[in-house]
Chain A
Amino acid sequence: MLEAGLYFLQQLINGITIGSTYALIAIGYTMVYGIIGMINFAHGEIYMIGTYVAFMAIAGMAMLGIEFLPIIFLGALLASMLVSSSFGWAVERIAYRPLRGGNRLIPLISAIGMSIFLQNYVRLGQGSRDIAMSSQITGGFSIGPTDGFHATLSYMQIIIFVVMLVSMALLTLFISKSRMGRACRAVAQDLKMANLLGIDTNRVIATTFVIGAALAAVAGTLLGMYYGVVNAYVGFIAGLKAFTAAVLGGIGSIPGAMLGGILLGIAESMTAAYFSTEYKDVVSFGLLVLILLFKPTGILGKPEVEKI
């Protein structure tokens, strides 16, 4: 009985952990969608690039002989955020801004093209093999009897969850208190109006992409350190899952992204544990299809009215 409970607890912990990373990536999708109404297909690749850079930073610091964990962690975060944000900015500028307004199919196809381009760009530069890294932060808490089955709550898992909460808090603060944050909200509500009011919408949109990319990089760093492996293709699946999370929570809503991420993470973890690991991807896709069919606005989203 205790064992079953502990097993469940473990799945819950694992689910919340992975869900937190989905939440961080999902923010990028939800913010961009909320502001310009398009799905940034390339966002998953931005996350993947963040992971690669984090690996490089950690390896580099190890080579320099740095062993102080907080510095390694911070260094990885900053490096990945810098590079990912740059990519985020560049992608928006090159592939999306020229196509704003008008037919929605066209930016979507451009986004897909960008996604393919980035994936293969990294493949060219880094090879298609997996890159593995040993765990930097090990150890954790043990829950349950010392002999027999016990659940583990690793330090890394705690860090992931905490970083996610802190990021969410900072972002919410930024959106509600800062001037740029208010501009973001205005543009999300009505782009044309915001333009007329003198808000530099280009700048706001660029900022949105940059923030989303930075958070994806954070997720990349965290997940990279957690799983210890990366390759050029992780972006695709992670992106799809994060998008599912964003839709689940309500696209356009930041707390929705968090909620959706956690819920999806738990659902996946439970499926993998109690059914089969092969089908956990099917669960994500299936969940996505179901939400879009029955409640496309998601849990916390607002219903949209078509303007005729």
Chain B
Amino acid sequence: MLKVDNLTMRFGGLIAVDNVSLTVGEREIVSIIGPNGAGKTTVFNCISGFYKPTDGAIEFKQMAIHGLPDFKISRLGMVRTFQHVRLFNSMTVIENLLVAQHRRVNTNLLSGLFKSPSYRKKEAEAMDRAAYWLKKVDLLPVANRSAGNLAYGQQRRLEIARCMVTEPKLLMLDEPAAGLNPKETKDLDDLIVSLKMDFDVSILLIEHDMSLVMGISDRIYVINQGAPLAQGTPQEIKDNPDVIKAYLGEE
């Protein structure tokens, strides 16, 4: 599904990402872990088109995508979340989900102005899809509340629902468990696994929370100071001495 070869990102003299390679297959949950400042979010930004990588090749669904702008990549079926939740705070929960489906509704001005049948049908479908996902992440009761007024855990779930409503093939989550309590983390766990199993979505995630990562990942990549350190199954990573040193050495 996703193939990244020798990704390098330089900012002036600073090398933020150094020769990182990774793959994500269909229906896989892959995690990227590493000490703080390791360049994980930069990798995300490069893959999703927010940064133009200095070097390397990125393939998504067998198409070369490096160099494409962010919104075009997103339309191919790759969506991402951000370290700090980015919701449309003054809009309601349901409106957030409607905006996400912008590509799916009738954006023709005249159809909208005169409420043509096709316009109304597409709007209704978008509403239904939104309602479905709100139910899935258990946010239906707050559908009409401002996104900015939600609790932090709810906002995180809304962000994921907003991604899913675009029916992506690859979901990239940047520290989805940050700031969540253990119960919420467990729910997130279950949600991510169900996304993979029931919705045919591959998931690439960046995380610090080891329990989450170890529990659900099919494979893990470890990055330290922008460079690849190790990769493998959770068990292999847990026993890898370099990884242990990188993490313990930090403290």
Contact = CB atoms under 8 A, between A and B. Distances in A.
B45 A308 contact: yes
B82 interface: yes
Interface of B: 11, 41, 45, 50-51, 82
B50 A308 contact: yes
Contacts of B51: 305, 308
Nearest to A302: B12
B11 A308 contact: no
A188 B11 CA distance: 18
Interface of A is mostly: loop
A306 B49 CA distance: 13
A308 B42 CA distance: 9
Interface string A277-293: 00000000000000000
Given A305-B51, A308-B45, 6 more contacts: A305-B11, A306-B50, A308-B41, A308-B50, A308-B51, A308-B82
A119 B45 CA distance: 46
Contacts of A306: 50
A308 B45 CA distance: 8
Interface of A: 305-306, 308
8 contacts: A305-B11, A305-B51, A306-B50, A308-B41, A308-B45, A308-B50, A308-B51, A308-B82
Contacts of B11: 305
A56 to B, nearest CB: 49
B54 to A, nearest CB: 12
A308 B51 CA distance: 9
Nearest to A305: B11
A308 B82 CA distance: 8
Contacts of B50: 306, 308
A305 B42 CA distance: 12
A306 B50 CA distance: 9
Contacts of A308: 41, 45, 50-51, 82
B81 to A, nearest CB: 12
Nearest to B44: A308
Contacts of B41: 308
Contacts of B45: 308
A305 B45 CA distance: 12
A306 B69 CA distance: 14
A305 B11 CA distance: 8
A273 to B, nearest CB: 42
A128 B41 CA distance: 57
A305 B50 CA distance: 10
A140 B50 CA distance: 58
A306 B70 CA distance: 13
A16 B41 CA distance: 48
A145 to B, nearest CB: 55
A209 to B, nearest CB: 29
A305 B51 CA distance: 9
Nearest to B41: A308
A267 to B, nearest CB: 31
Contacts of A305: 11, 51
B244 to A, nearest CB: 31
A308 B16 CA distance: 14
Nearest to B50: A308
A161 to B, nearest CB: 35
Nearest to B84: A308
A213 B11 CA distance: 35
A217 B82 CA distance: 47
B52 to A, nearest CB: 10
A308 B50 CA distance: 8
A224 B41 CA distance: 55
B18 to A, nearest CB: 17
A274 B41 CA distance: 55
B43 to A, nearest CB: 12
A192 to B, nearest CB: 15
Among all A-B residue pairs, the 4 with the closest Cβ atoms: A308-B50, A308-B45, A305-B11, A308-B82
Nearest to A303: B12
